[in-house]
A and B are shown apart, each in its own frame.
Chain A
Amino acid sequence: MDDRAWVATRKGLFELRRSGASGGKWAIAHVSFLGEPVSMLLAPQPSGRMLAALNLGHFGAKLHASDDGGRSWQEVGVPTYPTQPEGAEGAPWKLVLIWSLEAAGKTLWAGTLPGGLFRSDDGAASWQLIDSLWQRPERLEWFGGGYDVPGIHSICPHPQRPGEVLLGISCGGAWITADDGANWALRAKGMRAAFMPPERADDQNIQDPHLIVRCAARPEVLWCQHHNGIFRSTDNGASWHEITSAPLSSFGFAVAVHPGDPDSAWFAPAIADQTRVPVDGALVVNRTRDGGRSFETLRDGLPQRDCYDLVYRHGLVVGADGRALLMGSTTGQLWASDDGGESWTTVAAHLPPIHALRFG
Chain B
Amino acid sequence: MARIEFTPQLRRFTETPAIETGAATLRAALEDAFAANPRLRGYVLDDQAHLRANVVVFIDGQRCRDRVALDDGLRADSRIHVMQALSGG
Q: List A residues at the B interface (Cβ < 8 Å).
A: 56-60, 62, 75, 78, 80-84, 92-95
Are B43 and A57 touching (Cβ within 8 A)? no
Starting from the known contacts A58-B54, A80-B42, A95-B47, 20 additional A-B residue pairs (CB-CB under 8 Å) come to: A56-B13, A56-B43, A57-B87, A57-B88, A58-B87, A59-B43, A59-B52, A59-B54, A59-B84, A60-B52, A62-B13, A75-B13, A80-B47, A81-B47, A81-B48, A93-B47, A94-B46, A94-B48, A94-B50, A95-B46
**Shortest Cβ gap from A325 to chain B (Å):** 31
Residues of B within 8 A of A58 (CB): 9, 52, 54-55, 84-85, 87
B10 within 8 A of A: yes
B42:A83 contact, CB within 8 angstroms: no
CA distance A93 to B50 in the complex (A): 11
Question: Closest 5 interchain pairs by CB?
Answer: A58-B84, A59-B43, A58-B54, A81-B47, A94-B47
Q: Does B39 have its Cβ within 8 Å of any Cβ on chain A? A: yes
Residue B14 at the chain A interface, CB threshold 8 Å? yes
Minimal Cβ-Cβ distance residue in B for A84: B48
Pair A83/B13 contact, Cβ less than 8 Å: no
Q: Which residues of A contact B87 (CB under 8 A)?
A: 57-58
Per-residue interface assignment for chain B, residues 55 to 89, with 1 indicating a CB less than 8 Å from any chain A CB and 0 otherwise: 10000000000000000000000000000110110
Classify the secondary structure of A's interface with B: loop
Chain B interface bracket (under 10, 10 to 19, 20 to 34, 35 or more): 10 to 19
Residues of A within 8 A of B39 (CB): 75
B43 / chain A contacts, CB cutoff of 8 Å: 56, 59-60
When the two chains form the complex, which single residue of B10, B14, B54, B84 contacts A75, counting CB atoms closer than 8 Å? B14
Are the CB atoms of B47 and A59 closer together than 8 Å? Answer: no
> 17 A-B contacts, Cβ less than 8 Å apart?
A58-B52, A58-B54, A58-B87, A59-B10, A59-B42, A59-B44, A59-B55, A62-B13, A75-B39, A80-B42, A80-B47, A82-B47, A83-B48, A84-B48, A93-B48, A94-B48, A94-B50
CA distance A82 to B48 in the complex (A): 8
Q: Which residues of B contact A81 (CB under 8 A)?
A: 47-48
Measured CA separation A58–B53 after assembly (Å): 7
Q: Quote the shortest CB–CB distance from B32 to chain A (angstroms).
A: 19
A83 to B47, CA, bound (A): 7
B16 to chain A, nearest CB (A): 11
Report the minimal beta-carbon distance from B68 to chain A, rounded to whole angstroms. Answer: 11
Contacts of B48 in A (CB 8 A): 81, 83-84, 92-94
A60 touches B42 (CB 8 A): yes
Inter-chain contacts of A95 with B (CB < 8 A): 46-47
A80: shortest Cβ distance to chain B, in Å?
Answer: 5
- Cβ–Cβ < 8 Å partners of A56 in chain B: 13, 43
Residue of B with least CB distance to A75: B39
A65 to B81 CA separation, bound complex (whole angstroms)? 30
CB A264 to nearest CB in B, in angstroms, measures 39
The docked-state distance in angstroms from the alpha carbon of A94 to that of B51 is 12
